[in-house]
Amino acid sequence: MPGQFLTFRLQLEDPVRHEPKTVVRCYSLSDRPNPDYYRVSIKRAPPPAEQPDVPAGLSSSFFHDRVQEGARLMVKAPSGHFHLMTDEPLPIVLVCGGIGITPMLSILNTVMFSNLYTVMFCGISREVWLYYGVRNGAEHVMKEYLESLQKAHPNFHLHVCYSSPAEEDVEGVDYHHRGWIDLQLLRSTLKLVRYQFYVCGPRQMMETLVPALEEWGVDSDDIHYESFGPASLIEHENLARQVTKGETATQAITITFSKSGKSIPWDPGADSLLEFAESNGLEVGSGCRAGSCGCCQTGLAAGEVDYHQEPDADVDSGHCLLCITTPRSDLTLVA
């Protein structure tokens, strides 16, 4: 489905320990589904500016530096609940920041392609609005492609926002709006009709835009969103979790890991059971750390957990995803 992602299992070398390492990462399809190929678009993840000595991102560096034409990779079939909804042909608003453009390209290309046929046969074409936020021209992905699409399709409305344009970036030529994508911009450019909204971007965008859309009166069923990692979890989902954390902080919760025979008091400061298990020296599988790949699925022999977000991976009964859960009660995990 347009907007879904592939899950890669990569065998690479740990840059610190210099030993083989398996990493699992998800990458969204960035083109419309095609029987001949899948396309993904991967942004290199350099070390954080304030920690230049830590290694660059493992998977993205591997793709950029090592993967050559003809390489064979282990890939799981496309999955994920964030995808184009085809039940109602409502006009679509795609809102994305940075590399969050990838699933939007998949959705956009699908709709533009199907419009070619629906226009020809019944004179109908689905309207798409793309709001794309980046820092400046250096991060502007698929610029010429998007502009050519806009010229060719009157029903495609492109709004590019630069939050800190470089000197050579010209407003009205390279980009349309200076600043972040916000509700004000959407309200001043969209018509007053019902839309399907799709949002994928960095933390700040997700935290502000999704609740703002709901406050504006958009039905939550018409808002679809995806986060690309633990850094982009949504605040209002976390709010419920903070309350739970607050409530449980006074109660002592014990996590028992049945395979290793360890019983450890839960640390209310831990973000997830995955983080808690790792910080206590337990070897647990993980990949995306965002509820998408299913790698951290663990048997839950006793107790209850709270999910911080809707999991994208399908969770087997009697199991939980450690990366997006915290305990509600004493737990026994099969780990």
Interacting residues with ligand FES (CB under 6 A):
286-289, 291-296, 313, 321, 323
C-beta of 95 vs 313, nearer to ligand FES:
313
Residue of the chain from 35, 51, 68, 191 that contacts ligand FAD (CB under 6 A): 51
Q: Which of 102, 106, 297, 298 binds ligand FAD (CB under 6 A)?
A: 102
- Partner whose footprint covers residue 295, from ligand FAD, ligand FES, none (CB < 5 to 8 Å by kind): ligand FES
Residue 60 sits in the site that holds ligand FAD (CB under 6 A): yes
**Half-sphere exposure of residue 120: CA atoms within 13 angstroms, side-chain side:** 6
Contact 224, 199 (CB under 8 A): yes
Residue 64 vs residues 41, 61, 205, 208: alpha-carbon distances, Å: 11, 5, 27, 32
- Encoded tokens for 211: 């609740």
Helix H, strand E, coil C: the string for 185-231 is HHHHHCCCCCCEEEEECCHHHHHHHHHHHHHHCCCHHHEEEECCCHH
Q: Is 290 in the site for ligand FAD (CB under 6 A)?
A: yes
Least CB distance from residue 192 to ligand FAD, whole Å? Answer: 32
Nearer to ligand FAD, 230 or 327 (CB): 230
Q: Which residue among 84, 93, 288, 300 contacts ligand FAD (CB under 6 A)? A: 288
The item of ligand FAD, ligand FES, none sharing an interface with residue 323, based on CB under 5 to 8 Å by kind, is ligand FES
Nearer to ligand FES, 111 or 321 (CB): 321
Question: Which residues contact residue 30 at a Cβ distance below 8 angstroms, ignoring those fewer than 6 apart?
Answer: 39, 40, 41, 101, 102, 103, 105, 106
Q: Are strands 20-28 and 5-13 parallel, antiparallel or unpaired?
A: antiparallel
Q: Which residue is nearest to ligand FAD (CB)?
A: 57
DSSP codes, 293-333: S-TTEEEEEES-EEESS--SSPPPTTEEEGGGEEESS-EEE
CA distance 266 to 254: 6
Site for ligand FAD in 227-256 (CB under 6 A): 228-229
Q: Pick the closer one to ligand FAD by CB: 54 or 124.
A: 54
The partner in contact with residue 266, picked from ligand FES, ligand FAD, none with C-beta cut-offs of 5 to 8 angstroms by kind, is none
Contact 220, 226 (CB under 8 A): no
By CB under 6 A, name the one of 1, 56, 212, 315 that touches ligand FAD. Answer: 56
Which one, 64 or 76, has the nearer CB to ligand FES? 76
52 lies in the binding site for ligand FAD (CB under 6 A)? no
The secondary structure of residue 68, as a DSSP letter, is -
Contact assessment for residue 25 and residue 5, using Cβ atoms and an 8 Å cutoff: no
Residues that bind ligand FAD (CB under 6 A): 5, 23, 25-28, 40-43, 45, 47-48, 51, 54-60, 99, 102, 226, 228-229, 288, 290, 292
